[in-house]
Amino acid sequence: MSTWAEAAFLGLVQGLTEFLPVSSSAHLRIIGPLLPSGGDPGAAFTAITQIGTEAAVLLYFRRDIARIAAAWLASLAGGKRPSDPDARMGWLIIVGTLPIAVLGLLFKDAIEGSLRNLYITAAMLIAFGLLLGAADRFSRKQRSLSTLTWRDGLLFGLAQAMALIPGVSRSGGTITAGLLMGYTRDAAARYSFLLAIPAVLASGFYQLYRSWDIGSPVAPGPTALATVIAFGVGYAVIVVFLKLVSTRGYLPFVYYRLVLGTLVLALLLGGLLSPH
């Protein structure tokens, strides 16, 4: 059972890492056992605190989201064509959300159990770090979101679904996919944020509802505190991250992932961390 101070620290970590391509779920999974109370904070705690970071996305992109939602609703009512750019974006976000929704339900037990093995987490940190580095180095980075196709929307969604495995990173997976498809760094990052909204909020509220019945390793009060902290820190990270990647690229995050993954492997092999 995490203390209030530990929950606050985990909320800080969640807010700092959710939007960076370094995997927030991996960080919570790694840091939890190293805290005084020890133990994995659990998939429910991770999903619920992500409500806070997604609230930051809703606030930061509120004008874009309102415009897209209005156009999408108008397309349903016949007031706008589905080909209208904003209406089309709404439909593409829905299509891109389908893979994580389907796979999340099919592999729910593995996601909450065996896939949280730290050996898997470390391997994903390293493997997807190398993939992100290659994509950032060799991709064309020319396409804007106005060129987004239905096929690309589905591929973005499949990449997001990979983040069900701790260590992959939701933003890292979708950004890597976007770069490989030729999108600019800014376009890939922005679509990653928008695409995550339905999936993360649905997962978070589902876990919140479920935790009322089965409980969670972290009590409701500390979990709420962590969620609020994740919101505040997450908003600041969005502002800095979008400016950073447009000028500096993703190489610092690649190095970070490789170092963290290697460190976790060393701790596991040295018996200082348990894989489960």
Q: What is the pLDDT of residues 96-151, one digit of tens each?
A: 999 988 888 888 778 777 778 889 989 999 999 999 999 998 888 889 988 899 99
* Cross-strand partners of 143: 183
Q: Which two tokens stand for residue 90?
A: 């709404």
* Cross-strand partners of 183: 143
Using alpha carbons, list the distances in angstroms from residue 242 to 24, 126, 128, 256: 17, 23, 20, 18
Report the alpha-carbon distance of residue 122 to residue 106 in Å, rounded. Answer: 24
Mind spelling out the 3-state secondary structure of 174-202? HHHHHHHCCECHHHHHHHHHHHHHHHHHH
Mind spelling out the 3-state secondary structure of 100-117? HHHHHHHCHHHHHCHHHC
pLDDT of residue 132: 93
Residue type at 162 in one-letter notation = M
At 38-90, the pLDDT tens digits run 666 776 777 788 888 889 989 999 999 999 999 999 888 776 666 688 889 99
pTM score: 0.85
